[in-house]
Structure 1
Amino acid sequence: MKITLLTVGKIKEKYLKDAIAEYTKRLSKYCKLEVIEVADEKTPDQISETVENSIREKEGERLLKYLRDDAFVITLEIQGCQLTSEDLAGKIEGLGISGISHIIFVIGGSIGLSRKVTKHSDYALSFSCMTFPHQLMRVILLEQIYRSYRIIQGAPYHK
């Protein structure tokens, strides 16, 4: 299985880079992982809805270049479905069994994803009703993908 994380913005914090590197190393046993970062737009503190939409559209156009028709696209959205770790493992396993060999997880920027991107989504996923920084979501997502593969194998996953 190939897993792609398609994300807006670069990670600057060393502690997040270290966590991402650790989960990337762990996941190398289970899947081919690719992380693609597209540039984010500067977002002023007080902006109009029109400017917000413009920023989402610009970031969305950059993301769309990497979405593939032969991949199953999962967008991370506040309004998405919340799954347990076991349910996410079942989703990933079920996709593999059904012949899907490439999953793209999409994480938007600080103000979310454009409608053009969410229209390409095969599944919308949410990790919580709470809002997390999009940089931290990369770590959380990678940890949950790793946990999913451990669950699929029947291995202890509270590690």
Structure 2
Amino acid sequence: MRLLILAVGRMKAGPERELCARYIERTAKSGRALSLTGPDVVEIAESAARRPDDRMTEEGAALLAALPEETAVIALDPRGREASSEEIAADIAALRDRGVRALSFLIGGADGLSDAARGRADRLVAFGRATFPHQLVRVMMAEQLYRATTILAGHPYHKA
């Protein structure tokens, strides 16, 4: 199953980008033995619209247009359900085992996700109730994908 992170905004050079790349690389290596490919990162340009609602609408449409066909979708949203690392790993394994071709994780821009993007999601997941910068959420998502592969492989990383 192909893993994707679709995120609004571009990661600028710096420690966040380096950390995200490190987790993406680790996930790609550890995922192969688990029949997982990627994660591929698709960056969506931030909208230049003046109003937050218009920005969310434009960015949401771009996220939806970038989704591959036949993908399950998990949207990261503070209104979603908090999920443990073990639950995220179990969700990935269940989708893979059902023959789902791709699993896409949506990360909105500074204003969040549009109603249309949230509506397309099969599940809304929150990384707690705090508000995080969307670029930091991308790092956190990449780390959780790596952690999921270690859980599925029975590696002790997730216990640390």
Fold match by TM threshold 0.5: yes
Say if 1:135 and 1:122 are closer, same or farther in 2 by CA, change over 3 A. same
Corresponding residue SS for 2:106: strand
> How far apart, in 1, do the equivalents of 2:40 and 2:144 lie?
16
> How far apart, in 2, do the equivalents of 1:87 and 1:128 lie?
14
Corresponding residue SS for 1:157: helix
Question: Which residue in 2 is equivalent to 1:40?
Answer: 46
Q: CA RMSD in A?
A: 1.5
Question: Which residue in 2 is equivalent to 1:151?
Answer: 151
Unaligned 5+ runs, structure 2: 32-36
Give the % identical residues: 35
Matches within 5 A, 1:1-159: 1-29=1-29, 30=31, 31-42=37-48, 51-158=51-158
> How far apart, in 2, do the equivalents of 1:64 and 1:43 lie?
18
What code does the residue aligned with 2:130 have? M
Task: For residues 48-95 of structure 1, give each alpha carbon's deviation from its aligned partner in whole angstroms, at most 9, with x where no partner exists.
Answer: xxx221111111121121123400011001111111111111111111
Corresponding residue SS for 1:4: strand
Corresponding residue SS for 1:24: helix
> How far apart, in 2, do the equivalents of 1:14 and 1:42 lie?
24
1:123 deviation in Å?
Answer: 0.8
1:117 deviation in Å?
Answer: 1.1
1:2 deviation in Å?
Answer: 0.7
Question: Which residue in 1 is equivalent to 2:34?
Answer: none
Unaligned 5+ runs, structure 1: 45-50
Task: For residues 82-120 of structure 1, give each alpha carbon's deviation from its aligned partner in whole angstroms, at most 9, with x where no partner exists.
Answer: 111111111111111111121000000001011111111
> How far apart, in 2, do the equivalents of 1:150 and 1:43 lie?
41
TM-score by length of 2: 0.90
> How far apart, in 2, do the equivalents of 1:83 and 1:13 lie?
30
What code does the residue aligned with 2:45 have? A
Question: Which residue in 2 is equivalent to 1:48?
Answer: none
